[in-house]
Amino acid sequence: MNIELLTLAEVDAISGSEGNFKVTIKEKPRVVDMEKCIACNLCAEKCPKKVPDEYNMGLAPRKSAYIKYGQTVPLKYAIEPETCIFFVKGGNKGKQGGGKCRACEKYCPTGAIDFDQEHKDEYRDVNVGSIILTPGFTSFDPSVYDQYQYSNFKDVVTGLEYERLLSSNGPCMGHLTRPSDGKEPKKIAWLQCVGSRSMNKCDNGYCSSVCCMYAIKQAIVTADHTTGDIEQTIFYMDIRTHGKEFDNYFGLAKAVGVNFVNSRIHSVTPGNDGGVEVEYFNENTGQRVVEDYDMLVLSTGLEVSKGLQELAGKLNVKLDKYNFAESSSFAPSATNIPGIFASGCFQSPKDIPQSVTDASASAASASVALSSQRGTLAKERTFPPEKDVAAEEPRVGVFVCSCGINIAGTIDVKELTEYAKGLPNVVFVDNNLFSCSQDTQVLIKEKIKEHNLNRMVVAACTPRTHEPLFRETMKDSGLNEYLFEMANIRNQNSWVHSKEPELALQKAKDQVRMAVAKASMLQPLEHLTVNVNQSALVIGGGISGMISALGLADQGYETILLEKTDRLGGNAWSLSTTWRGEEVKPFLEDLISRVENHPNIKLYKNAQLKTNMGAVGDFVSEVDIDGEKRAIRYGIAVVCTGGKELKPDEYLYGQDERVFTHLEFDKELIDHKPALEKAKGAGVHSVRGFA
């Protein structure tokens, strides 16, 4: 409610500075009246004009009247003037030259489409204090590599195209088939680093950082989308699995039989039985290998979208040589313009968890300068008054989620739905493709009203991620949010019993029956209001702890920072420069000085947390400060206790003074100890390890 979505919109002009920008937004016409559209799909069904569907990477058509995908937000159809027959043939410019068709207008049951009205770009000005740029990336177009035959062979696809082929809401409905002839592929190859780490045809001299992992993922999940045996081979230059749990995932791929071949495919020719024939050199034997595959997936890299240079130009935001936002290692979300921040793949290529972390960092940075204005423009959400259902008999509605094929691929959701209809107190049951989508929330609200439901059960995934959404739907329907129960038939059932669909169905019936029984006994609960302690605790005074403390303190929150040694800075004291040559010491000294002098930061050195009690909003801890025990209270805590370098007992470490860990070696570089002189000419070998 405090997020206003401006779709089909782009930044047209900007003026002002940090704290107060004026931005002109250009909104293209949607043609469909969003207030009236009920997303019934009739306009798209009747529209005679087929165009390639961008959402499916052009692998399937959509209509000129369309939504991007079934769960799209906002769930309102749009008509594309560039392809719509009515607009292409002249629109409403007079009776003689006017366009015809108007099928969608004729069939729209709510009158949401009006071609008589003029539809043109609209401009509006908005005032904002900060701007965050998250325009994302474009998948590299591999047509420039003639040898991979992407433009000529249908069975050569990009990583993102393959993603659509796998997807349950993609053109194959989750059951993978080969684009050329619709056969199920049995042997698939991936080629890594297409459009990344290459200056030959694309000037992309950087690693896109996600392709190794997405290729491994695609190879692992391909088996779920096909029948029988499947052979997957990944041709790579280096496998980069640097994120949390990533290397285990790589190990899993090897364990389930995915082949990894350290070689680049040299050329691609038509296969003997459709598909492709690839030629490469086995790097171990030096032998030339020619092999047939049903499909070849090019693991295409991430590029900044073409239009972004124009946007950056309008905002005066500097770009680096690859057109990503220019930023320093010490403030990665900041651009060269105060008040404008860059996040996600526009900052640098990155995966989803990193994008989310990055986005939260930008949001925190953006709010620092505006903290005095917090809450001045935000509105509070109101819900309809709660119905008193205490005296009513339970009337339970059950919504069974297919979760694409996540649940429906294992459990017979139709039979489960029929079964639920016969359970005590159940008055309505429905099956949804995705129970969590916005359109389903609208449907649930309608059904609650229509059948006068007073309890709800959703048989889907985990309440940990989705319960808040359904509770909100309950509140929107005037029901107490606690008259709701979830049955986790995905994580606790279809995912773990995928090989036993019959037993999984039995278990799902049990789960739904239990959830319905529990829901029937639920009573409304009321929220208590308690005061929240608006102060924070940060544990650890390294770079991460100090940045966290400053972020909180700059927003006006009292912050306690605990450091277990007598000096802030942590491991960073051992580092001389970043790989880009930025000096660490001046940055660190500035950071320490800001932390030590900040009026909102209480710094305790030689301090360790001993106990922790309470819950979010009101924690209490015992802290040992210089040997003295003290109690502290706080509302939230950020743990930044850092990492410790592994000290090995191998490689002559600790026995020969010429053997260093990398942190010790960096420290040597700072201190210029004579040991370095001794090492001159002896060569430096690196053995890595970080605990």
Tell which positions 161-200 bind another protein, by CB under 8 A: 163-164, 166-170, 174
Residue 126 as a binder of another protein (CB under 8 A): the answer is yes
The 8-class DSSP code of residue 563 comes to -
CB of 322 to another protein, least distance (A): 18
Residue 404 as a binder of another protein (CB under 8 A): the answer is yes
139 forms beta bridges with: 302
Among 88, 144, 237, 363, the residue binding another protein under the rule CB under 8 A is 363
CB of 278 to another protein, least distance (A): 24
> Cβ closer to another protein: 409 or 541?
409
> Cβ closer to another protein: 176 or 512?
176
CA distances (Å), origin 466, targets 435, 488, 520 = 10, 10, 21
DSSP string, 242-298: -STTHHHHHHHHHHTT-EEE-S---EEEE-BTBSEEEEEE-TTT--EEEEEESEEEE
Residue 314 as a binder of another protein (CB under 8 A): the answer is no
Among 364, 442, 663, 670, the residue binding another protein under the rule CB under 8 A is 364
Among 191, 211, 216, 632, the residue binding another protein under the rule CB under 8 A is 216
Site for another protein in 247-286 (CB under 8 A): 248-249
Q: Which of 121-129, 254-262, 279-287, 571-579 is the region at the interface with another protein (rule: CB under 8 A)?
A: 121-129
Site for another protein in 409-448 (CB under 8 A): 434, 436-437
CB of 528 to another protein, least distance (A): 21
CB of 373 to another protein, least distance (A): 3
CB of 405 to another protein, least distance (A): 10
Question: Before 179, cis peptide (omega within 30)?
Answer: no
Edge-to-edge, what's the strand order for the sheet holding 484-488?
A: 426-432, 396-401, 455-460, 484-488
Structure tokens at 47: 């529209």
Distance CA 174, CA 59 (A): 14
Among 36, 60, 119, 246, the residue binding another protein under the rule CB under 8 A is 246
Site for another protein in 459-488 (CB under 8 A): 461
Site for another protein in 14-33 (CB under 8 A): 16-17, 19-21, 23, 25, 30
Other Cβ atoms less than 10 A from the Cβ of 460: the count is 27
Other Cβ atoms less than 10 A from the Cβ of 211: the count is 27
CA distances (Å), origin 580, targets 251, 321, 571, 666 = 32, 14, 18, 15
> Cβ closer to another protein: 322 or 651?
322
Q: Which residue type is seen at 525?
A: L
Find, among 440, 450, 441, the residue nearest to 474 by Cα.
441
Among 133, 297, 552, 575, the residue binding another protein under the rule CB under 8 A is 133
Site for another protein in 628-657 (CB under 8 A): none
Site for another protein in 49-68 (CB under 8 A): 54-55, 57, 66-68
Among 369, 443, 517, 679, the residue binding another protein under the rule CB under 8 A is 369
Place of tokens 């019936």: 509
67 CB burial (10 A radius; 0-12, 13-18, 19+): buried
CB of 170 to another protein, least distance (A): 7
Distance CA 377, CA 4 (A): 12
CB 393 within 8 A of CB 425: yes
Question: Before 74, cis peptide (omega within 30)?
Answer: yes
Residue 677 as a binder of another protein (CB under 8 A): the answer is no
Among 206, 214, 557, 634, the residue binding another protein under the rule CB under 8 A is 214
> Cβ closer to another protein: 172 or 575?
172
> Cβ closer to another protein: 342 or 603?
342
Find, among 520, 541, 459, 470, the residue nearest to 493 by Cα.
459
> Cβ closer to another protein: 165 or 609?
165
Among 36, 186, 217, 602, the residue binding another protein under the rule CB under 8 A is 217
CB 399 within 8 A of CB 432: yes
CB 333 within 8 A of CB 367: no
> Residue 224 — φ and ψ, nearest 5°?
-75, -20
Among 113, 157, 213, 396, the residue binding another protein under the rule CB under 8 A is 213
Find, among 320, 315, 507, 333, the residue nearest to 411 by Cα.
507
Please list, residue by residue across 112-136, b when 16 or more beta carbons sit within 10 angstroms of its beta carbon and e when fewer do.
bbebeeebeeeeeeeebbbbbbebe
> Cβ closer to another protein: 362 or 535?
362
Q: Which of 93-101, 106-114, 157-165, 657-665 is the region at the interface with another protein (rule: CB under 8 A)?
A: 157-165
Residue 137 as a binder of another protein (CB under 8 A): the answer is yes
Residue 622 as a binder of another protein (CB under 8 A): the answer is no
Residue 370 as a binder of another protein (CB under 8 A): the answer is yes
CB of 123 to another protein, least distance (A): 13
Q: Which of 194-202, 254-262, 398-406, 655-663 is the region at the interface with another protein (rule: CB under 8 A)?
A: 398-406
Among 42, 43, 59, 78, the residue binding another protein under the rule CB under 8 A is 78
The 8-class DSSP code of residue 112 comes to -
Residue 136 as a binder of another protein (CB under 8 A): the answer is yes
Residue 220 as a binder of another protein (CB under 8 A): the answer is yes
Site for another protein in 332-361 (CB under 8 A): 343-346, 351-352, 355-356, 358-360
DSSP string, 304-361: E-TTHHHHHHHHT--B-TTSSBP-BTTBTTB-SSTTEEE-GGGTS---HHHHHHHHHH
β-strands 288-293, 137-139: how paired?
unpaired
Q: Which of 244-252, 612-620, 637-645, 670-678 is the region at the interface with another protein (rule: CB under 8 A)?
A: 244-252
Among 85, 202, 311, 443, the residue binding another protein under the rule CB under 8 A is 311
Distance CA 122, CA 124 (A): 7
Find, among 147, 159, 151, the residue nearest to 234 by Cα.
159
Site for another protein in 500-559 (CB under 8 A): none
Among 367, 425, 600, 612, the residue binding another protein under the rule CB under 8 A is 367
Find, among 599, 598, 597, 610, the residue nearest to 564 by Cα.
610
Distance CA 247, CA 260 (A): 14
Residue 7 as a binder of another protein (CB under 8 A): the answer is yes
Size of the site for another protein (CB under 8 A): 100
> Cβ closer to another protein: 133 or 609?
133
CB of 148 to another protein, least distance (A): 22
CB of 363 to another protein, least distance (A): 4
**CA-derived radius of gyration, the chain:** 29
β-strands 78-79, 65-66: how paired?
antiparallel
Q: How many CA atoms, within 13 angstroms, populate the side-chain half-sphere of residue 99?
A: 18
CB of 230 to another protein, least distance (A): 16
CB of 288 to another protein, least distance (A): 33
> Cβ closer to another protein: 329 or 462?
462
Q: Which of 214-222, 576-584, 600-608, 638-646 is the region at the interface with another protein (rule: CB under 8 A)?
A: 214-222
